[in-house]
Amino acid sequence: MQNLLNRFLGYVRTDTRPDDTNSSSPSSISQMLFAEQLADELEKIGLGEVTLDGNGYVMATLPSNTGEPGPVIGFIAHMDTSPEAPSGNVNPLIHSNYDGKDILLNQEHNIILSPSDFPELEKYTGQTIITSDGTTLLGADDKAGLAEIVTACEYLIGNPSLKHGKIRIAFTPDEEIGRGSDNFDVRRFGADYAYTLDGGGIGELEYENFNAAAATVEIKGRSVHPGTAKDAMINSIMVAGQLDALLPSGERPEYTTGYEGFFHLYDIRGSVEETVMKYILRDHDPVKFAERKRILNEAVESIRKRYGGAGITVALKDQYFNMKEIIEANYHIIEAAIEACRKAGIEPVIQPVRGGTDGARLSFMGLPCPNLFTGGHNYHGRYEYIPLESMTKAVEVIINLCVPGKTQ
């Protein structure tokens, strides 16, 4: 547990925020520097075939110690953190023997992590809770997945009596901006199936995810001195507000759950002359997903007609699709994960992902790849936290998957 904690704390202190304005892979220098650090660490703990390619993908092998042929299992996590929240200079805080009450993250700014806002906190009473200091996200998405995979490999290397087949691991860049699998070489990875460690609370096991698209709307207005602006000015900021008002107001992330999809305006920047809006569109159902894209396009066209003097464009890009059909055709990997969880004393919680993972696209690229929990909560924000005990259980589940005959 201490090795896992130290590794995780070191990882989250490294800023790996992606840059969606940069088309390079990885999109930020910090990710490549972190990839180099991870590659060095993997070699030091004894993994073989460690590679780091020019796109920032780290891969490594733990060879089989059974002497018998068998399937190759893979484990995957991503290096980047969400661009939606401050992520530089993360200062992780450790709250030992949590008392079930409010956790003061930052006294100066009165930032409090409270079970009144996040009731699931109470079930971790008595455990060790890791948070940021409230000025940034924590980065458990997906630094926890990285730390858990590396720690599990380290444990297997240190305990050769545990017999396992060939294991491949991969760490990817730019998952948070939808590019995590763009340059992933499935053939070189060489696994028969894999698991992403990119889920939430303890026990989560997911093989259904959103269909996802990203949309960028650019609005060109017309700036005129406000004293003579009547019938001449077109304020692109106001136009943007009218466009957003045409989308279903109840179909936003804060109003939806389960299989319900949404429109999410996550970034808007502008002036009178120009405003840029960035949306993500999500839905599990492919028909409803297509309908969301149609609704956005029609809203843009409506505003375009209303403001003939404004230039309005929308660029829509599919990001990933629901992997359910692929995984159901390979359901034995879900059954293996269920057994691995139960051996660790966890009853798996099978539920749809209200998001996506690298595994979604990889499944369509020929690598069936469901998603396992890391233990974290409240990803992508300053109230993110993760219990150390949940991370330890994630390590145990990985080991159980690699060593099916292992008993507690």
Q: What is the pLDDT of residue 407?
A: 44
Q: Give the structural domain span for 168.
A: 2-209+322-402
pLDDT digits (tens, 9 = 90+) for 128-162: 999 999 999 999 999 999 999 999 999 999 999 99
Q: Is residue 248 part of a domain?
A: yes
* Total domains, the chain: 2
* Element at 244 (helix H, strand E): helix 236-245
Among 293, 320, 347, the domain boundary falls at 320
Decide if 98 contacts 126 (C-beta within 8 A): yes
The span from the CA of 301 to the CA of 65, in Å, is 61
Let me know whether 201 and 118 are in one domain: yes
Which two three-digit tokens encode residue 258? 């389960």
- Give percent of the chain above pLDDT 90: 90
Q: For residues 226-251, b (16+ Cβ closer than 10 Å) or e, as one string?
A: eeeeeeebbbbbbbbeebbeebeeeb
Mean pLDDT of 286-295: 97
pLDDT for 406 beyond 60: no
Q: Is residue 7 part of a domain?
A: yes
Beta bridge partners of 357: none
pLDDT for 37 beyond 50: yes
Q: What is the pLDDT of residue 88?
A: 82
Q: What is the pLDDT of residue 28?
A: 96
Among 295, 320, 345, the domain boundary falls at 320
Q: Is residue 408 part of a domain?
A: no
pLDDT for 309 beyond 80: no
Nearest to 363 by CA among 319, 317, 320: 320
Q: What is the pLDDT of residue 242?
A: 96
Let me know whether 137 and 188 are in one domain: yes
Among 320, 335, 354, the domain boundary falls at 320
The span from the CA of 340 to the CA of 406, in Å, is 9
pLDDT for 356 beyond 80: no
Let me know whether 156 and 219 are in one domain: no
The span from the CA of 357 to the CA of 264, in Å, is 18
Let me know whether 328 and 289 are in one domain: no
The span from the CA of 303 to the CA of 299, in Å, is 6
Let me know whether 109 and 42 are in one domain: yes
Q: Is residue 81 part of a domain?
A: yes
pLDDT for 283 beyond 50: yes
Strand pairing category for 58-62 and 167-172: antiparallel
Greatest distance between any 2 Cα atoms in the chain: 83
The span from the CA of 293 to the CA of 127, in Å, is 44
pLDDT digits (tens, 9 = 90+) for 337-347: 999 999 999 99
- CATH number, domain of 106, equals 3.40.630.10
The span from the CA of 8 to the CA of 10, in Å, is 5
State which amino acid sits at residue 305: K
Q: Is residue 334 part of a domain?
A: yes
pLDDT for 115 beyond 90: yes
- Comparing 31-40, 112-121, 355-364, the range with the smallest average pLDDT is 355-364
pLDDT for 353 beyond 90: no
Rounding to the nearest 10 degrees, give the CA dihedral for residues 382, 386, 388, 394.
Answer: -140
Decide if 170 contacts 59 (C-beta within 8 A): yes
Let me know whether 143 and 36 are in one domain: yes
Let me know whether 135 and 216 are in one domain: no
Q: What is the pLDDT of residue 354?
A: 86
pLDDT digits (tens, 9 = 90+) for 64-94: 999 899 999 999 999 999 998 887 899 999 9
Let me know whether 120 and 198 are in one domain: yes
Q: Is residue 355 part of a domain?
A: yes
pLDDT for 408 beyond 50: no
Q: Is residue 67 part of a domain?
A: yes
Q: Is residue 407 part of a domain?
A: no
Strand pairing category for 204-206 and 371-373: antiparallel
Residues with a known catalytic role: 80, 175
Let me know whether 145 and 204 are in one domain: yes
Query: How distant, in Å, are the alpha carbons of 150, 164, 282, 330 from that of 8?
Result: 10, 25, 30, 32
Mean pLDDT of 293-313: 92
The span from the CA of 216 to the CA of 333, in Å, is 37
Q: What is the pLDDT of residue 86?
A: 80
The span from the CA of 60 to the CA of 43, in Å, is 9
pLDDT digits (tens, 9 = 90+) for 179-233: 999 999 999 999 999 999 999 999 999 999 999 999 999 999 999 999 999 999 9
Let me know whether 310 and 326 are in one domain: no
The number of beta carbons lying within 10 Å of the beta carbon of residue 309 is: 10
In angstroms, what is the C-alpha Rg of the chain?
23
Using the structure block, give the residue that is written with the tokens 């969880």. 341
Contacts of 159 (CB under 8 A, 6+ apart): none
Using the structure block, give the residue that is written with the tokens 């293996």. 336
Let me know whether 179 and 201 are in one domain: yes
Let me know whether 165 and 123 are in one domain: yes
- Comparing 49-53, 234-238, 273-277, 356-360, the range with the smallest average pLDDT is 356-360
Strand pairing category for 349-350 and 204-206: parallel
Compute the mean pLDDT over every residue in the chain, rounded to the nearest whole number.
95
What length does the chain have?
A: 408
- Give percent of the chain above pLDDT 70: 99
The number of beta carbons lying within 10 Å of the beta carbon of residue 182 is: 13
- CATH number, domain of 236, equals 3.30.70.360
